[in-house]
Structures are given as C-alpha cells and as structure tokens.
Amino acid sequence: MSDGPGRPAVRTANAVAYVCQNLEQLRSQLLEGQLGDDGPLDRLLAAVRSGGEVDGALEHLHLLLQADGDARGVHALDGAEDGARGLGDGGLPGGPGLHQVTGLTRGAAPGPADIVYLCPAHRCARSWVPHPTVPLPRCAITGQPLRRDRL
C-alpha cells in the first residue's frame, strides 16, 4: 500500500516506525510469548532492508502479537481512526509530512535551524529532532544514520 511514488501508506509507515522504535522489546515479546520465535520479526526486517513489500509481513507480525495478548500490535501508533499519526522520538505525534515540534506552529515558515532527521530509507514515519548533547541516532532496522531534512 502506498500514498504515492516511493512513499509507503501512512499506516504502514507508522507501523514500521513502531517496530523500529521498539525492536528489542518486540523481539523479547515474541521469544517469550506463545510462539517462542522471532522469525516473523526477522522476515519483516529483511523486507524493510531490501526495499520490498512489507504489508504482508507487518500484518502477520501484527496478528501474532495480538494473539499473544498485545491488542494494538504493530499499530500502536494509530491514535486516529484513519491511522494518520506519525511518531517522533519522545512520542511526538504528527500527520503525514508534518513533524510537530514544541514551539513550531502550523503555517510558520521554517528557519535555518528547523532541522529534523527522518528514516534513511523513506520506509517509516520516525522523526528525531536534534539535541545538542545527544548523538544522531541510527535506524534500528538498517543501521544507517537518520537522514537530515527541514521541517
């Protein structure tokens, strides 16, 4: 599913962002749960890394997590009925193409310091706002540094 050329659908991008942000927790949950296997997570990660289709692997992982008692599964970022919410590190919600940051208002022209870091592969909705004392994070799935962009 896609929102346009080279862009995953918002719900898919949010789910991949959730997996990226919670990778080790999800792996533990799968290994300690009824399934006792993190293979479905590894298959999803392989699909993300290869640039392949991820919807099937995401849905499979989602259903496994739900069967193991995690009601929201990989769609934990879906705060709105249509799933149009993204995640910035620290839980900053944002709609498609908008990363909400404290002090930034809609319609304000971005200044030179309005920098945000995004998924390096354009596969998820993760965003990170730079902090002077925190090193640039890497994508938990690909290991690449997040890509720099402007708000």
Q: Residue 148: inside a domain, yes or no?
A: no
Q: Residue 66: inside a domain, yes or no?
A: yes
pLDDT for the residue numbered 41:
95
The pairing of strands 2-4 and 7-8 is antiparallel
Collect all residues with Cβ–Cβ distance below 8 Å to 67 and sequence separation of at least 6.
Answer: 34
Q: Residue 25: inside a domain, yes or no?
A: yes
115 strand-pairing partners: 150
pLDDT for the residue numbered 113:
61
**Rounded Cα gap, residues 86 and 78, in angstroms:** 8
The pairing of strands 115-118 and 126-128 is antiparallel
pLDDT digits (tens, 9 = 90+) for 66-118: 999 988 899 887 753 333 334 444 433 333 333 334 344 445 454 446 889 98
pLDDT digits (tens, 9 = 90+) for 124-144: 888 889 888 888 888 888 888
Count up the domains in the chain and report the number: 1
Give the structural domain span for 8. 2-75
User: What strands, in cross-sheet order, belong to the sheet with 147-150?
Assistant: 92-94, 86-88, 126-128, 115-118, 147-150
**Rounded Cα gap, residues 57 and 47, in angstroms:** 8
Q: Residue 46: inside a domain, yes or no?
A: yes
CB 13 within 8 A of CB 70: no
pLDDT digits (tens, 9 = 90+) for 6-19: 445 889 999 999 99
**Rounded Cα gap, residues 51 and 151, in angstroms:** 25
Q: Residue 30: inside a domain, yes or no?
A: yes
Displacement of CA 106 from its chain's centroid (Å): 22
Q: Residue 102: inside a domain, yes or no?
A: no
Q: Residue 8: inside a domain, yes or no?
A: yes
Q: Could you tell me the pLDDT band of residue 34, with boundaries at 50, 70 and 90?
A: confident
pLDDT digits (tens, 9 = 90+) for 43-64: 999 999 998 899 999 999 999 9
Q: Residue 149: inside a domain, yes or no?
A: no
pLDDT at 30 over 70: yes
